[in-house]
C-alpha cells in the first residue's frame, strides 16, 4: 500500500519559538499514524535540527528541507547542499516548488540535478509539478505537467523513482483560496500516474505517492484525499495553524 502523506510547507514563516510551539501543539494531539501514513514538516533551514529533535521518537513523523542546491559543494555562498542535509539527519527535501521555479528561475534540468543529489545522499525528494492558470485555461495542463515529469524524472531508474514523492500543484490555486474540484484533482493525478506507468510500468506507478498541493484546508482535505489517486497533501497556509493541520492529518485515508 502506498504512503498517505500530510506534508506541511511552512515556507518563509514563523520565528523559531513560534515554530517550536506549533510543533508542540500538533504533537500534543497524539495522533497515532498507521504504518502507511506519514506526516512531514518542511521547515526553514534554521529550524531543521529543532524540528528533528521535536519529532524524535514519533513514529512516521519527519522533518524536511524546503530546498537544496543543485550542485554537490563549492563556492556557492548562502546555499545548502543535499549532503549537508543528510549530515544532520534529514530524510526528505522539497524539490521544484512552483515558487522556486517562478522566483528563482529553477528549470526542469536543474531540478533533475537536485533529484540526483538528494537520492545519492539518501534523501527522498518531494518533487513538485503543476501548471499556471494560462495553461489550465488553454487545456494544456496534461501536456505541461507531463513535460515537467519527463525532463526532471525520467532519467531515474525504477528503483530510484520508488524513493520519490510527487506533489501536484495547480499554481493557480496556491495561496489564492481557489482549489481544484475533486474531479479536477483526481483527473490530473490519474494522468500523472498514467504517465509514470507508461514509462516505468503499472507496479511502479501504483507504488508512488502523489500529493495535492493547492490550498488544502481542514474543510476540504477529507474530500480531496478520498480521491483514489490523491495520496495526501502538500499544505501551505493551513499547516501554520495547529487546529487546521491536525484535522488535515486526521483526513488521511
- CB 219 within 8 Å of CB 251: no
CB 19 within 8 A of CB 50: yes
Active-site annotation holds for 97: yes
Q: Give the distance from CA 142 to its chain's centroid.
A: 19
**Residue with grid cell 518531494, as numbered in its chain:** 126
Q: Which helix (H) or strand (E) holds 205?
A: helix 202-207
Q: Judge contact between 10 and 230, C-beta under 8 A.
A: no
Phi, psi for 117 (deg, rounded to 5): -70, -40
Residue of 54, 70, 86, 97 marked catalytic: 97
54 carries an active-site annotation: no
User: Considering only CA atoms, which of 64, 6, 30, 32 is closest in space to residue 252?
Assistant: 6
- Rounded to 10°, the helix 48-55/16-27 angle is 20
Distances in whole angstroms, Cα of residue 167 to Cα of each of 65, 76, 127, 139, 193? 15, 28, 6, 20, 12
Catalytic residue among 86, 106, 169, 189: 169
CB proximity list for 173: less than 8 A, separation 6 or greater:
179, 180, 214, 215
Active site residues: 97, 169
Amino acid at each position: 500500500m502506498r504512503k498517505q502523506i500530510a506534508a506541511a510547507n511552512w515556507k518563509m514563516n514563523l520565528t523559531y519559538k513560534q515554530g517550536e510551539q506549533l510543533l508542540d501543539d500538533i504533537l500534543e494531539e497524539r495522533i497515532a499514524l498507521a504504518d502507511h501514513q506519514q506526516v512531514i514538516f518542511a521547515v526553514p533551514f534554521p529550524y531543521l535540527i529543532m524540528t528533528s529533535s521535536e519529532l524524535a521518537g514519533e513514529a512516521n513523523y519527519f522533518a524536511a528541507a524546503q530546498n537544496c542546491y543543485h550542485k554537490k559543494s563549492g563556492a556557492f555562498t548562502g546555499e545548502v547542499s543535499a549532503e549537508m542535509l543528510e549530515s544532520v539527519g534529514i530524510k526528505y527535501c522539497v524539490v521544484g516548488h512552483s515558487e522556486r521555479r517562478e522566483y528563482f528561475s529553477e528549470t526542469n534540468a536543474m531540478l533533475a540535478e537536485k533529484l540526483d543529489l538528494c537520492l545519492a545522499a539518501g534523501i527522498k525528494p518531494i518533487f513538485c509539478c503543476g501548471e499556471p492558470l494560462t495553461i489550465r485555461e488553454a487545456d494544456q495542463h496534461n501536456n505541461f505537467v507531463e513535460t515537467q515529469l519527463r525532463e526532471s524524472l525520467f532519467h531515474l531508474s525504477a528503483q530510484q523513482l520508488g524513493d520519490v514523492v510527487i506533489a501536484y500543484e495547480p499554481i493557480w490555486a496556491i495561496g489564492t483560496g481557489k482549489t481544484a474540484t475533486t474531479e479536477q484533482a483526481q483527473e490530473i493525478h490519474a494522468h500523472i500516474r498514467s504517465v509514470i506507468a507508461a514509462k516505468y510500468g503499472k507496479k511502479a506507478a501504483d507504488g508512488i505517492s502523489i500529493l495535492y498541493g493547492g490550498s488544502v484546508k481542514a474543510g476540504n482535505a477529507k474530500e480531496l484525499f478520498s480521491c483514489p489517486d490523491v495520496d495526501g497533501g502538500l499544505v501551505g497556509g493551513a499547516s501554520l495553524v495547529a487546529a487546521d493541520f491536525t484535522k488535515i492529518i486526521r483526513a488521511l485515508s
